[in-house]
Structure 1
Amino acid sequence: MNRITLFLCGDVMLGRGIDQIMAHPNRPHLFEPCVRSARDYVTLAEARSGPLPERVTFDYVWGDALHELERVSPDARIVNLETAVTCSEDAWPGKGIHYRMHPDNVSVLSAAKIDCCALANNHVLDWGYRGLTETLDTLQAAAIHTAGAGPNEIEAASPAMIDLAGGGRVLIFAFATESSGVNEDWAAVRGRAGVNRLKNLSADCVRAIAAQVETVRRPADVVVVSIHWGANFDFDIPVSQRRFAHGLIDSAAADVVHGHSSHHVKGIEVYRDKLILYGAGDFINDYEGITGEESYRGDLALMYFPALDPGTGKLLELSMTPTQTRRFRINRAPQEGIQWLEETLNRESRPLGAGIKRRADDTFVLRAVT
């Protein structure tokens, strides 16, 4: 094996309105200030894009992404699953937004052959500890690896390990930060379930992660650090995030830093030949028809396909396929969307030393700039 290709993307939110059009919808009731039924999100999307089908097949939401996954044939497919997979009615008290997908709809993830779901985010505990337990059990039964949440601090911190056909493994360590909405009461501790929460982005945290990676990493392994961090709707990349990402590469043997939470794509950096995605955007959600932040183009996203050297983890190539969410489905982005992504990624990545080149087939490839 002369290269390892990964599939990475932004947040995958399959609950609420999307869950309602699947074969086995949950009860639709919600506890949001202005919305009391998940069916309202279906209505909003239909007002924007036309009627939605009901009881869709499990491959429906992936749409054009399935062809791209087949074409590229990545060795490991990794997503941040920002949805509890549960029927639990233990809605987290005082939390305005609650996402859940019925466990009988878990085959939607299998339809895209997802290998690993990062769960360290601000929605996995939306339906309480019972909801988290059911999420973990359901994904395990579907043979999908998880990282970033668990019944205690040790299991929540444990990496997912994906064996590669040619030898070696992909190790996924998943973390969440307070800046993404994960408060201390969601942190997994001894005797309490929760998420793998970073206290801060300090050098001490880098050293702790480095020690953990060292205990499990083998010479042929590729290490992915998946982090839910930062505010929504903001292109700025804080100095603390850059310093932390660089520290993970310098000291913790990270080969890829997979950042998400921002609801839109952000700048890309290659540091010491290693890939840093500061914000991968929202890959799929039910926000269609919601207004207020249109300038950030949350409907547009990217399928990231980093190709890595299996011996060193160095980035050989990053190809990206532009997509757009319409009718609760992933579609190839239209020309105006491709142009917006190209211009935005070049603008935001140039200060980080990177740029985007558009290919004849309307995919992108990362390039260095000076």
Structure 2
Amino acid sequence: MSRAADVAPPLRLMFGGDVMLGRHVRDVMQGSGTHAPLEGVAPLLRSADLAVANLECALTDATNRWHGAPKAYYFAGPPDGGQALSDAGIRLVSLANNHSLDYDVQGLADTVRILDLHGIAHTGAGADLGQALAPAIVPCGEVLVGMAAFCDHQDDFAATDDRPGIAWLDLHDEPAAMDAFARALAALRAAGVRWTILSLHWGPNMVTAPSPHLRRLAYAAIDMGWKIVYGHSAHIFHGVELYRDCPILYACGDLVDDYAIDPELRNDHQLLFEVELGDDGLRRIVLHPVFIRRGRAVPADHTQRTWIYARMRALCRDLGTEAQMEGDVLVVERDAATPHE
């Protein structure tokens, strides 16, 4: 048998940003069918070995909103959102965000039940702190992929030993954050997980680059042993950075939403991040342009992808990463990083 025949095909993980199925997107589902918001990108999601997203809403028919301090926005997708996610190919989601409890503890309980019903792994929120901190593990063939998720805002959503909520962290308390990261990593390693993903819902909305503080935390997580840092919350994508040959996706933007469009930041122009992994680590990252049109995610057209690619190349360059065109696809290769000090 030839040497080439012994080489295993790459493991392909597809990362999307926030999936928000409430408000107008919920109306789209009710008027045009459950699958309408994601059916345009479903073939791409399903083509991966594992598709991952941040579920930025409850899946519930509950009507009682969060019992704590009033919020500006409350997001509830319909219960059949679980079917929409599953049929689109999404098999792993983070619930550590500032909308998982928008419809109080009943909304979170409904979300967890619905995800479990459809076989969608989840982490970052639960009936108590132990469940919120419990990592999710998904088999991809003979390889295990695992994820733990944390959020740095909406501290009143924080789970406790006897209260449902999210895995909230004060990321400015770096020793506590590092301790939480280490405990989650140890649990995944003990379970035999090969590829470990640290999901972080962090930083402010609509900023174009990660702060030095967040970059420092990402480096520390990879120094600790995490293989992929998967960030979201900004609603727009940030550049990719490679550190010790590990990908840092600081902000994956949104996959679907109904948000107002900023004419300069153009938050309807988004990306899916395909991370290809080989036996020896990262091979490359393929960037797939997405456009959000009236509550639906669809492949970007030529004009949209030209804007997305130009912006992404500039953002990557600012982080010391070279993104190059391979045919009509934008790719970050394993050796695309400027060496760190």
Structure-1-length-normalised TM-score: 0.84
Amino acid at match of 1:301: Q
Q: 1:58 to 1:104 in 2, by over 3 A?
A: closer
| 1:150 corresponds to | 126
**RMSD, aligned CA:** 1.7
TM superposition shift of 1:211: 2.9
% identity of equivalent residues: 31
2:300 is the alignment partner of 1:333: yes
Distance 1:243 1:159 in 2: 23
| 1:122 corresponds to | 98
Q: 1:169 aligned to 133, 141, 144, which one?
A: 144
Tell me if structure 2 keeps the 8 A contact 1:345–1:355. no
Structure 1 runs of 4+ off > 6 angstroms?
none
| 1:3 corresponds to | 10
Amino acid at match of 1:194: G
Amino acid at match of 2:169: L
Matched residue of 2:37: which SS? helix
Moved more, 232-241 or 199-208: 199-208
Please show how residues 261-340 of structure 1 align to structure 2 within 5 Å: 261-287=233-259, 290-291=260-261, 293-310=262-279, 312=280, 314-340=281-307
Deviation string for 1:302-331 (max 9, x for gaps)? 111101134x5x211101110101132222
Which consecutive residues of structure 1, in runs of 5 or more, have no partner in the other structure? 24-53
Deviation string for 1:175-204 (max 9, x for gaps)? 1012xxx2x211011100000011224144
2:49 is the alignment partner of 1:75: yes
Distance 1:192 1:162 in 2: 26
Q: 1:196 to 1:278 in 2, by over 3 A?
A: same
Deviation string for 1:52-97 (max 9, x for gaps)? xx2x233322233123234xx2111111000100111111251121
Size of the alignment, in residue pairs? 325
| 1:88 corresponds to | 62
Tell me if structure 2 keeps the 8 A contact 1:342–1:356. no
Which consecutive residues of structure 2, in runs of 5 or more, have no partner in the other structure? 1-7
Tell me if structure 2 keeps the 8 A contact 1:324–1:332. yes
Tell me if structure 1 keeps the 8 A contact 2:144–2:192. no
TM superposition shift of 1:340: 1.7
| 2:40 corresponds to | 64
Tell me if structure 2 keeps the 8 A contact 1:98–1:127. yes
Distance 1:125 1:315 in 2: 35
| 2:218 corresponds to | 245
Q: 1:363 aligned to 296, 304, 329, which one?
A: 329
Distance 2:53 2:24 in 1: 20
Distance 2:86 2:210 in 1: 33
Tell me if structure 1 keeps the 8 A contact 2:25–2:296. no
Distance 1:110 1:236 in 2: 31
Distance 1:205 1:327 in 2: 38
2:73 is the alignment partner of 1:104: no
Amino acid at match of 2:208: F
Q: 1:65 to 1:203 in 2, by over 3 A?
A: same
| 2:162 corresponds to | 191
2:24 is the alignment partner of 1:21: no
Distance 1:241 1:249 in 2: 13
